Copies of this chain bind each other. A is one copy, B any other.
Amino acid sequence: MANVLITGGAGFIGTNLALHLQAAGHTVSILDCLITGRAEKVHGFPLIRQDVRQPITGTYDWIFHLACPASPPHYQADPLFTLTTAFEGTRQVLQCAHTCGARVILASTSEVYGDPQVHPQPEYYWGHVNPIGMRSCYDEGKRAAETLAFIYRTQYQVDVRVARIFNTYGPYMEPDDGRVISNFILQALHHKPITLYGDGAQTRSCQYIKDLLEAFELYIQLDPILLESFFSIRNMALPVLNLGNPQEYTIKMLAEIVLNAIPESNSSLCFRPLPQDDPKRRRPDISLAHACLGWTPKVLLTEGIARTVDYFRSVS
């Protein structure tokens, strides 16, 4: 059983991961400054309340580094905080791992692919990212965080593994995240119009949190020598895996599935003009994760949405 630190453990993915690893018998501590993380998501785990950009002490077997504002309304609220958290936070985590010998999963993001010109995106795709725009604080911050991971692995032999996480949903999402599934569920539960931008024909891929947690567990436990050989025969000096659900749905289908899951709702669909910064279409190529971990997402969208609805019912 492992002694685990989860940075950003009071956020959406972090809190789910903490509960999941505890149930599997591991010892979990949380590091969170509770700026976008929430105290009620700490769930009684030991909390190191600090800024991840400050030096991290302690000895761990595994560190899951999730700390960083991740939704556009959060990460654009204070771009300098976002960018320095992505960069300096990752450096502190890797420095801690270098000192204590921990294995690290760095939570990266599909945003490193930017506005991709290749569909679906494989890990070797370099991306298409604007370095000087509204989203750059997050996109470039996470790219530079991956560069740090590359350096710490190749120069300092830190066993860091990168997960490029695609759009994920489930219990403990923040209501103000501005994500499409949580927005739709909250609108339907409150009998408000379900707002679709444009004609609703744009697509999203959506991964249920439980599938991501299973990938995390397989990824962190993979034997270092097997991992190294898997990636080195592919000419990758740093392990990087896309973790997401490649199944695409139109926004309109998502709205209809949500409405079906909440039969008492009086909400109807309401179409609005497409905003300028509408999130771009991204779809993961997960063949590498499948080959490496034997993993594929299993939870059907209808089932994942039903469980997410249950969660939002329970807290509203």
Contact = CB atoms under 8 A, between A and B. Distances in A.
Interface of A: 79-80, 83-84, 87-88, 91, 112, 114, 126-133, 136-137, 140-141, 143-144, 146-152, 155, 162, 236-238, 240
Contacts of A133: 150
A149 B129 CA distance: 16
B146 A132 contact: yes
A155 to B, nearest CB: 6
A114 B114 CA distance: 15
A141 B140 CA distance: 9
Contacts of A83: 144, 147-148, 151
For this chain, the copies found in one complex come to 2
Given A87-B87, A155-B80, A140 B129 contact: no
Nearest to A115: B126
B114 A126 contact: yes
A237 B132 contact: yes
A80 B91 CA distance: 10
Central interface residue in A128, A136, A147, by most chain B CB within 10 Å? A147
Contacts of A149: 132
